[in-house]
Chains A and B, each alone.
Chain A
Amino acid sequence: MLLDVHDLHVTLPDQGRKLRAVRGVDLSVAAGETLCLVGESGCGKSMTALALMGLLPRRAERRAARLRLGLTDLGGLSDSAMSALRGRRMSMIFQEPMTALNPVFPIGDQLCSVYRRHTRANGAAARARAIEVLESVGLTNAALRMRQYPHQLSGGLRQRVLIAMALICEPELMICDEPTTALDVTTQAQILHILKEAQAARNMGMIFITHDLGVVARIADRVAVMYAGRVVEEGTREAVLRHPAHPYTRGLIASVPKPGGGEPGQTRLASIAGNVPAFHQEDARCPFLSRCLQRMDVCAETPPPVRQAPAGQSFACHLLPGWVESRAAGVEKRA
């Protein structure tokens, strides 16, 4: 396994209390594999990613039973060792490329400085490498573009520069946090293309954070659905999207407008009432309790067991997998 995470916890200071943003997450990513982390805002997806990168806010606390990248134990690394590894073996791209790029330096300088920090390359070699990687993400006239400043580029081009910067040292793992959310739909498709190509060419592992289940359907090998700091369902793309088992996953999928799904302007969507709760204390009960339409007495009493659904994914819920499936089939027949 390229990335192996077991029982990851992140707590953040919150007005004198401790906010438990990530509460016992297990994740794994193999080389060449794409894991999509999905969930609503506040479910802990970004905090999980920042915890893996060692980029949590200063007063946040991270602990994990296991946190390994290849043979390296990330949990035991010093800050300087972590910073030597970041950008070289694992790198990250963010939603808003403008905030991740320095506005006062040409993009070429920024690319070269990342490369020279991690290698012994001289200026000319770094420049050649920067041009090469910019071209690989589909930037035309890369040599000229090197002299441009971030504000001279469109959102889509800026995101390509950021991808190039993340790829320049050929990392084993790339974490993408909503990299296409701020982009137009046609630009989104182009950026996803570039990311998948870059991944295939390098057999790179990828964690892709998104709330867009349509994007998940196009790029994921496996999917982990997060809710209130926990992974509530995890399995192959096919299993999770086609045969979702957890009521939260089912609710998320049902709230997306379906192409060809009924008369325009006349059809109601399923939705999930309420918001993601925040947890300050240890709470073993099902976190989805307050919003679940299928809750039972047992849900408020005992932690949900992790079960295996017929399609193969694991999910944390008291509902019996067979029951979920048969009930869903019944609903669809009646409708």
Chain B
Amino acid sequence: MTMLLEARDLTHVYTIRQGLLGRPAPLRALNNVSLSIKRGEILGIVGESGCGKSTLARILLGLEAPTSGTVLLKGRPVGDYPRRERALAVQPVFQDPYGSLNPSMSVEELIALPLHVHGIGSRAERHRRTATMADQVGLPRRALAARPGELSGGQRQRVAIARALVAGPRLVICDEPTSALDVSVQAQILNLLLDLRAEHDVAMLFISHNLSVIEHMADRMMVMYLGRVVETGPTRAIFARPHHPYTTVLRDAVFSPQDDGGVPDLGLRGNFPNAMDVPSGCVFHPRCGFAHPNCSEVEPMLKSHGGDDRACACHYPLTAGP
């Protein structure tokens, strides 16, 4: 079966000038990142700021061309698709619904925009599809006449989701879609996304810094650190036993209301590295509690350590032990 979306060896380099008179220097935002998403699947991507997850989203949306590597949509390079066809297949939902909705347009115009831009359907047809979509995302009909400024944060995110889905995309790229929302509203939006996935069989790339949200949403997941994939596999299996020390740290840093008092020591050394000056060998070694001498010399490749569809980039994966 061909994958819905496949990305191979994506590398992206930004050129950054540090300070007014600084010399331009390369910043490797993505380094050999590969991924694949099946039809109707949710792939979770987790990592902290600077790990390259948003650059990845921009490349998959076609907003930016990678420095090297290929992105295949239904087996064909995305570059071969006319812009319109690609936009119809892949749609975004961003973190900040305040910033991504034109404040002067009505909710109905905003949701219908992709149909309008791509000339889909008659006026009556567009009106009908917009209203149906609004119902599906749980927006009351009277909200269709409102402007984004009159809506709550949760309602705005519903508008953004309706707009992303109205033209029937095969893949929605959600970049931190609930990070700006209260937990009760986050729960509503996560439920909505799962319902829409079940109903439309749409695949999702779900980006978050919150591992418990990824655990809740994603069938498979990828953990990123400094532009690299350090661990990937089925969500369930990774949570049961993370193989990469960084995944363990991320898991331990997510607190749940059921936990007991006391802030855990994550065993993380030093500070977050400068992305302009990445460590030698394994990029995680200066912070890793398990680092051996050779970790600073040889960069570990992403490879499988025991079948089951998993891979981990570590010389000493935590596959055995407690």
B239 within 8 A of A: yes
* Complex contact B257–A256 (CB within 8 A): yes
A29 — which chain B residues lie within 8 A by C-beta?
none
Interface string of A230-251 (1 = CB under 8 A from B): 0000000100010000000001
| Smallest Cβ-Cβ distance to B190: which chain A residue | A269
- Minimum CB–CB distance from A131 to chain B (whole Å) comes to 19
Complex-state Cα separation, A272 to B216, whole angstroms:
18
* Complex contact A218–B216 (CB within 8 A): no
A256 — which chain B residues lie within 8 A by C-beta?
183, 187, 212, 256-257
* Complex contact B268–A186 (CB within 8 A): yes
* Complex contact B42–A257 (CB within 8 A): no
Complex-state Cα separation, A269 to B257, whole angstroms:
15
The residue among B212, B257, B259 with the most chain A CB atoms within 10 A of its own CB is B257
* Complex contact A185–B183 (CB within 8 A): no
A252 within 8 A of B: yes
User: When A196-B263, A255-B186, A256-B183 are in contact, do A189 and B215 touch as well, CB less than 8 Å?
Assistant: no
User: When A256-B256, A264-B236 are in contact, do A185 and B262 touch as well, CB less than 8 Å?
Assistant: no
- Minimum CB–CB distance from B202 to chain A (whole Å) comes to 13
The residue among A267, A268, A271, A273 with the most chain B CB atoms within 10 A of its own CB is A271
A275 — which chain B residues lie within 8 A by C-beta?
152, 154
For window 161-198 of chain A, which residues contact chain B by CB distance below 8 Å? 184-190, 192-193, 196
Interface string of B265-293 (1 = CB under 8 A from A): 11010011000000000000000000000
* Complex contact B263–A186 (CB within 8 A): no
Complex-state Cα separation, A220 to B260, whole angstroms:
10
A265 within 8 A of B: yes
User: When A185-B48, A188-B253 are in contact, do A265 and B194 touch as well, CB less than 8 Å?
Assistant: yes
The residue among A185, A217, A263, A269 with the most chain B CB atoms within 10 A of its own CB is A185
* Complex contact A218–B184 (CB within 8 A): no
B250 within 8 A of A: yes
Interface string of A137-176 (1 = CB under 8 A from B): 0000000000000000011110000000000000000000
User: When A185-B211, A192-B263, A218-B263 are in contact, do A40 and B254 touch as well, CB less than 8 Å?
Assistant: no
B64 within 8 A of A: no
User: When A260-B239, A261-B216, A264-B216 are in contact, do A214 and B188 touch as well, CB less than 8 Å?
Assistant: no
B135 within 8 A of A: no
- Minimum CB–CB distance from B154 to chain A (whole Å) comes to 8
Complex-state Cα separation, A61 to B73, whole angstroms:
59
A258 within 8 A of B: yes
User: When A184-B209, A264-B235 are in contact, do A271 and B184 touch as well, CB less than 8 Å?
Assistant: yes
A270 within 8 A of B: yes
A212 — which chain B residues lie within 8 A by C-beta?
183, 255
Complex-state Cα separation, A275 to B152, whole angstroms:
8
A156 — which chain B residues lie within 8 A by C-beta?
271-272
A157 — which chain B residues lie within 8 A by C-beta?
271
Complex-state Cα separation, A261 to B309, whole angstroms:
22
| Smallest Cβ-Cβ distance to B250: which chain A residue | A185
* Complex contact B216–A257 (CB within 8 A): yes
A259 within 8 A of B: yes
* Complex contact B42–A265 (CB within 8 A): yes
A18 within 8 A of B: no
For window 198-239 of chain B, which residues contact chain A by CB distance below 8 Å? 209-213, 215-219, 235-236, 239
A41 within 8 A of B: yes
B182 within 8 A of A: yes
B264 within 8 A of A: yes
B122 — which chain A residues lie within 8 A by C-beta?
none
Q: List 18 A-B pairs, Cβ < 8 Å.
A: A155-B49, A157-B271, A185-B253, A186-B266, A189-B253, A192-B263, A213-B183, A213-B257, A214-B256, A217-B260, A217-B261, A252-B184, A256-B187, A260-B215, A265-B42, A271-B188, A272-B187, A275-B154
Q: Which residues of A contact B (CB under 8 A)?
A: 40-41, 154-157, 184-190, 192-193, 196, 211-220, 237, 241, 251-273, 275
* Seed contacts A218-B262, A252-B184; 5 additional CB < 8 Å A-B pairs: A217-B258, A256-B187, A257-B215, A264-B217, A265-B216
Q: Which residues of B contact A (CB under 8 A)?
A: 42, 48-49, 152-154, 182-188, 190-191, 194, 197, 209-213, 215-219, 235-236, 239, 249-250, 252-266, 268, 271-272
- For the complex of A and B, 10 pairs with smallest distance between CB atoms: A214-B255, A255-B187, A271-B187, A257-B216, A213-B257, A184-B48, A269-B187, A185-B253, A272-B184, A40-B182
